[in-house]
């Protein structure tokens, strides 16, 4: 009970009662400080805790809802099968692909893309873009030449290089030449040809399992694995 409330009670008390209870009411400054320092009631603490729990629960549900919306409509979790993209991606690795990125940006050389397999539309493949529309590609003893110029490939370890020759070939309009980083163990555009733009539906952006591969899938990530 605060000092203001005590003053109101004191004014409504008869004189004789006021005199006899002056010690217990405590209407002076010390009494006011004592009243103000009393801990809140158990009911008040319980209500405050419940309100805080409700706020945290609401915020958590909103965060989960937003995360689900982002995953469902923007990103898609996929499982890698095979070793054609080793060492960047391993067999059974779990990654996220961005399904909308190519609606706003163009496909670039070096992108790791997911596409419908040209020889069987029920299957999806994941490879790296090596050639862009209009490019002329050639492989000479494991070295990539694009339009007559050597293109460094730091993502292809020496032990995974294919030292045979290939090409030259020209990439058709609206198509992309794709290859696996594990060159000696990859079924790619050297076999089934360039992939039309309409069949490419996402770019690999993030690995989340196993934990030692957790992180962004940048072009040069293979160098650190």
Q: Indicate whether 29 and 85 sit together in one domain.
A: no
CATH of the domain at 208: 2.10.109.10
Q: Pick from 32, 53, 71: which residue ends a domain?
A: 71
Question: How does pLDDT run across 117-144, given as a tens digit for each residue?
Answer: 988 989 999 999 999 999 999 999 999 9
3 state SS of 48: helix
Q: Indicate whether 129 and 38 sit together in one domain.
A: no
Residues 6+ positions from 171 with CB-CB distance below 8 Å: 131, 132, 133, 134, 135, 136, 137, 177, 194
Q: Indicate whether 220 and 151 sit together in one domain.
A: yes
Range of the domain at 178: 75-224
Q: Indicate whether 109 and 168 sit together in one domain.
A: yes
Asked if 117 and 123 touch (Cβ cutoff 8 Å), the reply is yes
Residue 182 has pLDDT above 90, yes or no: yes
Q: Quick one: pLDDT band at residue 40, thresholds 50, 70, 90?
A: low
Q: Indicate whether 19 and 63 sit together in one domain.
A: yes
Q: Indicate whether 54 and 141 sit together in one domain.
A: no
Q: Structurally, how many domains does the chain consist of?
A: 2
Residue 217 has pLDDT above 60, yes or no: yes
Q: Indicate whether 67 and 42 sit together in one domain.
A: yes
pTM tops 0.85 = no
Distance CA 130, CA 108 (A): 9
Residue 86 has pLDDT above 70, yes or no: yes
Point out the catalytic residue in the list 127, 175, 186, 189. Answer: 127
Reference 223, options 154, 153, 151, 162; nearest CA is 154
Q: Pick from 45, 71, 97: which residue ends a domain?
A: 71
Q: Indicate whether 117 and 130 sit together in one domain.
A: yes
Q: Indicate whether 133 and 204 sit together in one domain.
A: yes
User: Is 99 an annotated catalytic residue?
Assistant: no
Q: Indicate whether 197 and 105 sit together in one domain.
A: yes
Asked if 90 and 180 touch (Cβ cutoff 8 Å), the reply is no
Determine the pLDDT at residue 39. 55
Distance CA 111, CA 85 (A): 12
Q: Pick from 71, 92, 115: which residue ends a domain?
A: 71
Point out the catalytic residue in the list 21, 84, 189, 198. Answer: 84
Question: How does pLDDT run across 4-32, given as a tens digit for each residue?
Answer: 333 333 333 333 333 334 434 444 444 44
Distance CA 206, CA 109 (A): 18
Contacts 24+ apart (CB under 8 A), 193-197: 193/118, 194/131, 195/115, 195/118, 196/118, 197/107
Q: Indicate whether 118 and 24 sit together in one domain.
A: no
User: Is 164 an annotated catalytic residue?
Assistant: no
Q: Indicate whether 143 and 192 sit together in one domain.
A: yes
Q: Where are the alpha helices (DSSP H) in the chain?
A: 3-11, 15-20, 22-25, 29-36, 42-73, 189-192
């Amino acid at each position: 009970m605060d000092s203001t409330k005590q003053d109101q009670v004191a004014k409504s008390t008869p004189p004789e009662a006021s005199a006899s209870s002056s010690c217990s009411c405590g209407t002076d400054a010390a009494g006011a400080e004592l009243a103000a320092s009393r801990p809140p009631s158990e009911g008040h603490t319980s209500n405050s805790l419940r309100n805080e729990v409700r706020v945290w629960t609401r915020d958590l549900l909103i965060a989960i809802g937003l995360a689900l919306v982002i995953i469902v409509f923007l990103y898609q979790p996929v499982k890698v099968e095979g070793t054609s993209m080793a060492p960047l991606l391993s067999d059974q690795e779990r990654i996220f692909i961005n399904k909308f990125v190519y609606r706003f940006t163009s496909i670039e050389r070096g992108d790791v893309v997911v596409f419908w397999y040209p020889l069987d539309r029920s299957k999806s493949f994941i490879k790296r873009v090596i050639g862009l529309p209009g490019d002329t590609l050639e492989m000479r003893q494991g070295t990539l030449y694009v339009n007559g110029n050597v293109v460094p490939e730091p993502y292809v370890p020496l032990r995974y290089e294919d030292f045979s020759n290939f090409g030259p070939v020209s990439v058709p309009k609206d198509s992309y030449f794709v290859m696996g980083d594990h060159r000696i163990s990859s079924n790619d555009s050297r076999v089934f040809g360039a992939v039309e733009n309409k069949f490419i539906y996402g770019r690999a952006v993030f690995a989340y399992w196993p934990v030692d591969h957790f992180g962004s899938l940048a072009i040069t990530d293979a160098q650190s694995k």
